[in-house]
C-alpha cells in the first residue's frame, strides 16, 4: 500500500512539474492557462491520493478527499475568471492563432 501510494505521488509530482513547465514555455496567457489548469489539477489529485493512502498516523483520507473535491470544483472556476478578465483587459492571443470569435463579437 505504501509503495502504491508513493508511486501515485511520484506521478502526481511529475504532472505538477509538467504543468509548471507548460506555464513557463507556452506562448501566451490563454495557452499557459491551459497547461496551468489541467496538469496541476490531476497532478494534485494524484499527489494527495498517494499521500492519503500511504502511511499516516491517523486516518485522514476523508479530509484529503474533501481537499481533492474542492480543488476539482474551484480550479476551473478560477482559471475561467482569469481568462475572461484577461480577454476583457485587452490581452490578445499569440501570433499564429487561428481565429478569435470573441474578438469580432465584442
Partner 1 sequence: MADTIYTISAFIALAAVITAGVRLIAGPTVADRVIALDVLTIITVSLIVYIARMSGRIIYVDVAMVYALISFVGVVAFARFLERGL
Partner 2 sequence: MKRLSNTLLLFAILLLVWLALTDFNLADRLLPGAVFSLVVAAIFAPGLDILSEIRPSWRGIGYGLVYPIVFLRELVLANLDVASRVVRPRIPISPGIVKVKTSLRSRLGRIILANSITLTPGTLTVETEGEFFYIHWIDVTSPDIEEASREIVRTFEKYLEVMFG
Binding-site ranges for partner 1 (CB under 8 A)? 2-3, 5-7, 9-10, 12-14, 16-17, 19-21, 23-24, 29, 32-33, 36, 40-41, 43-44, 47-48, 50-51, 54-58, 60, 63-64, 66-67, 70-71, 74-75, 77-79, 81-82, 84-86, 88-89, 91
Alpha-carbon distance 27 to 34, whole Å? 11
Ramachandran class of 36: left when φ > 0, alpha when ψ lies in -120 to 50, beta otherwise: alpha
Residue that has been written with the C-alpha cell 497547461 in this structure? 35
* Residue 26 C-beta: closest distance to partner 1, Å: 9
**Number of C-beta neighbours around residue 37 at 10 A:** 19
Question: Site mask, partner 2, residues 32-71, x = CB under 8 A?
Answer: -xxx-xxx-xxx--------------xxx-xx-xx-----
Binding partner 2 by CB under 8 A: which of 2, 4, 56, 102?
102
Take residue 78 and report the three cell numbers written for it.
478560477
96 binds, among partner 1, partner 2, none (CB under 5 to 8 A by kind): partner 2
Alpha-carbon distance 96 to 76, whole Å? 26
Amino acid at each position: 500500500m505504501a509503495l502504491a501510494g508513493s508511486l501515485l505521488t511520484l506521478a502526481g509530482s511529475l504532472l505538477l512539474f509538467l504543468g509548471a513547465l507548460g506555464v513557463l514555455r507556452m506562448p501566451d496567457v490563454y495557452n499557459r492557462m491551459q497547461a496551468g489548469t489541467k496538469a496541476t489539477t490531476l497532478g494534485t489529485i494524484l499527489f494527495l491520493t498517494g499521500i492519503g493512502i500511504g502511511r499516516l498516523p491517523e486516518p485522514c483520507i476523508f479530509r484529503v478527499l474533501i481537499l481533492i473535491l474542492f480543488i476539482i470544483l474551484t480550479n476551473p472556476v478560477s482559471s475561467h475568471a482569469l481568462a475572461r478578465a484577461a480577454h476583457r483587459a485587452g490581452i490578445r492571443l499569440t501570433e499564429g492563432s487561428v481565429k478569435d470569435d470573441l474578438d469580432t463579437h465584442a
